[in-house]
Amino acid sequence: MSDLTKLTIAQARDALRRGETTSVALTEACLSAIDAADALGAFVHKTPEIALERAAAADQRIKAGDAPDMCGIPVGIKDLFCTEGVASQAASKILEGFRPQYESTVSGQLRDAGAVMLGKLNMDEFAMGSSNETSVYGNAVNPWRAGNSDAALTPGGSSGGSAAAVAADLCLAATGTDTGGSIRQPAAFTGTVGLKPTYGRCSRWGIVAFASSLDQAGPMTKTVRDAAIMGAAMMGHDPKDSTSADLPVPDFEAMLTGDIRGRVIGIPREYRMDGMPAEIEALWARGREMLADAGAVIRDISLPHTKYALPTYYVIAPAEASSNLARYDGVRYGYRAKMAPGDGITEMYEKTRAEGFGAEVRRRVMVGTYVLSAGYYDAYYNRARKVRTLIKRDFEEVFAAGVDAILTPATPSAAFELGKKHADPVEMYLNDVFTVTVNLAGLPGLAVPTGLDAQGLPLGLQLIGKPWEEGELLNIGYALEQAAGFVAKPAKWW
């Protein structure tokens, strides 16, 4: 078969079962594509030996008839997932040289299902960023270009390497993590599909923590069907994670009928924001029309506390980050700063953290420490927790009133130029305006590519579902995907 790297998971799975190709051939094609795409900065730790060994084992499983859906599928793993014996740095200098002797539950489940790890993917440092510009490895670059411009664009963040790799056909799919939109925003920027499951669906064990009450792993794929296949392999109860839900994982792929007749789709009025680009407004309107044409009932709804979501998020997330990142001190593993004569343990901590953490991580740790400090805890952190409860209640009331899913824009714009917003943290944080509510409420969210802007860049819409109902959410996303008919791919320049 030609163009093996362009296959979807479903296509590759079926081709492998029919004997039309092998996992080794698929893997070799992806490894060649990765080596030719260093300009994208997507893969930061390549693992060809591991990949070919696992591909050969997958071919044997397929021949023996013992092959789960992900068996033999080449994937990339975000650098936030600990992978046994393979560098796992969370894109930070402070974890330089760290090679864990254990495997994260999610990457372990994919490995046990026969998936082939091609290597580790670029990301924002400790998943803190919306443009993949805070990485110790350097920027990840979007494979798309705006019109005739040669300007490098962001693939989004923090899962920018994952999004770029999938969009450029370097791998058939990738893992991502989503704390405030870090799967859905990069998916929208790159014309790919990103699923953020319900909080607790995927184990967080072995994933380097950013904000523990918000983080959730999920798949980044080429199609909604692929998200259903890979998502099911990533989910499941894990006794090692106290927040992991002990619930069965349905066959999401079997639920993709495309029949959404009678489903009620909510359109939140609070997401119509001042200054929203006309192209985003038009895309949202077209999404409503496509779902209505498919038989869905469109209903205007209100989520009144949405306006407080960004400030609430940027109190809670840094607070949890400051606590989680306290463990990185240069004592047991990772980077340690050089000591001067007379330096003690306090100086070692200070120098190691100052040199090991990048500017954005330092900023968020300082904000988090401030809002947790005596005298400010009630004014900031405790108040943010209360507002978070109100945001969650808004969604609960809407779903209780009969709404099956909510349709919103995924991002306030198409992908922007690297360097354009990095100097202004507030402007960068505004990129999360449509996505953070989903994490604060612990809900599943899905980004689906739906169109192109005037410069030929992909735009996506977001669907928000009821807790634990990823199957219903994916089916509505599948109907939207079928109606939109998005098939555009970036023109190869790398």
Cα 118 to the chain's mean position, in Å?
18
- CA dist., res. 234 & res. 201, Å (int): 9
Active site annotation includes 302? no
Q: Are strands 264-268 and 297-301 parallel, antiparallel or unpaired?
A: parallel
- CA dist., res. 167 & res. 161, Å (int): 10
**Options 104, 130, 131, 182, the catalytic residue:** 182
Amino acid in position 448: V
Token pair for 286: 């077209």
**Options 23, 78, 130, 162, the catalytic residue:** 78
C-beta separation of 136 from 149 below 8 A: no
C-beta separation of 208 from 100 below 8 A: no
- CA dist., res. 314 & res. 358, Å (int): 18
Length of the chain: 494
Q: Using CB atoms within 10 A of its CB, is residue 386 exposed (0-12), middle (13-18) or buried (19+)? A: exposed
Active site annotation includes 158? yes
Beta bridge partners of 77: 120
Active site annotation includes 182? yes
Residue 447: which of 108, 178, 262 has the closest Cα? 178
C-beta separation of 352 from 336 below 8 A: yes
**Options 88, 107, 158, 322, the catalytic residue:** 158
Cα 70 to the chain's mean position, in Å?
19
Residues annotated as catalytic are 78, 158, 182
